[in-house]
Amino acid sequence: RSDPEKPIDSLQEYDALKLRVRGDGNRYKFTIQLRNGTRYQCPFDTSPGTLQDIELPFSSFVGLSTERANEVDYYAIPLSQADRSDIAFMNIVLSKFEFNGFLNRAGVPGEFSLSIDSITAVAKPAPQIVMVTSAAVERNARIETKEQRQADIPIVQLNPQGILNWKYKGEAALRDSGLTYSVIRPCGLTTLNETTEFALDFVQGDCISGSISRKEIASLVTAALSTPTADGKTFEVRRSEAKDAVSEGAASRSVILQKLQSLIKDTDRYTTGLPILPMAVDPPAEELSKEETQQVLDDPRVKAQRAREPESQQVAGRADDEPAFVVYRDGKALPAA
């Protein structure tokens, strides 16, 4: 435990703590308590007899109740957003229990040992570039046969002028640039209900369709540019289609930051079963014929979208009971023939 009589330097300009420890296979918790009484903890696991470097992002610390030991305060300001300039003390405790009193089933009974070599504060880079592309670019890059394309959603079938391929190539170039980045893939852009606050779905693996406004995307971009938890992540986003999706605060900055934190880095997709990002390839050698294009535009989902937003620049969409998607061509509706 830190000396309560000695002030702790401000951690406001940092994003994480880095520990070098030699443990015993137990789980421990790092505690930070602010002078206002708010307490936060972050668990970490150790390997027996092994010197480890362990990073604890402030975004991973859990706020605890000031009245009941070990109980989570679900309304506490996240430590990553709290004032970390006035810290009362820090300590490390053996994790006999998980949060809310649940038993730590991985605990090793008996004596314990944790040797601390160093504790340092770390500043993590936020994305230098946030690229906005579109949903369907990844699923398009996975297409190998004409039959697969015909079985996919209309925007993938159309892929006008190979736009999905070129957008995905842009993503690949950014990932190879060495810059810190985040890639946001909005579903179909909509002009409907632009002043209404919707909950947003953040998904990875390019398996959704839907709609979202430009204003909502702008909020995402500014949030992603400000937080290290967005670095190295690619995700699709849409307005939630749940019946209770509309509510005040549903897409607040705090909510957005929490959702960004929960996403998986592109390099770690394999750890969660997400599809590995495919290679970027050139567009199909042959575009659809006029007849094939018209067949796609006659799809009920396309007609439903046009009926919902006849004055919009968007085309294509969903049937009333299906997710939405959008087709673009030079900012104008794709001609029917």
pLDDT of residue 316: 43
Token pair 């903890």: residue = 41
pLDDT of residue 62: 95
Residue 135: what are its φ and ψ, rounded to 5°?
-60, 155
pLDDT of residue 312: 53
pLDDT of residue 308: 76
Cα 252 from Cα 219, distance rounded (Å): 9
Q: What distance lies between CA 260 and its chain's CA centroid?
A: 3
What six digits make up the tokens of 2? 């830190």
pLDDT of residue 270: 94
Cα 208 from Cα 211, distance rounded (Å): 10
CA dihedral 185→189→195→200, nearest 10 degrees, is: -30
Averaged over successive runs of 10 residues, the pLDDT of the chain (337 residues) comes to: 81 94 94 92 94 94 89 92 91 92 83 94 94 96 91 90 95 96 95 89 94 94 94 96 84 89 95 95 86 85 77 47 42 46
> Per DSSP, which regions of 46-114 are E strands?
51-57, 62-64, 87-94
Neighbour-count burial of 41, counting CB atoms closer than 10 A to its CB (0-12 exposed, 13-18 middle, 19+ buried): buried
Cα 13 from Cα 292, distance rounded (Å): 56
Cα 171 from Cα 164, distance rounded (Å): 11
Q: How many CB atoms lie within 10 A of CB 35?
A: 12
pLDDT of residue 199: 93
CB 42 within 8 A of CB 107: no
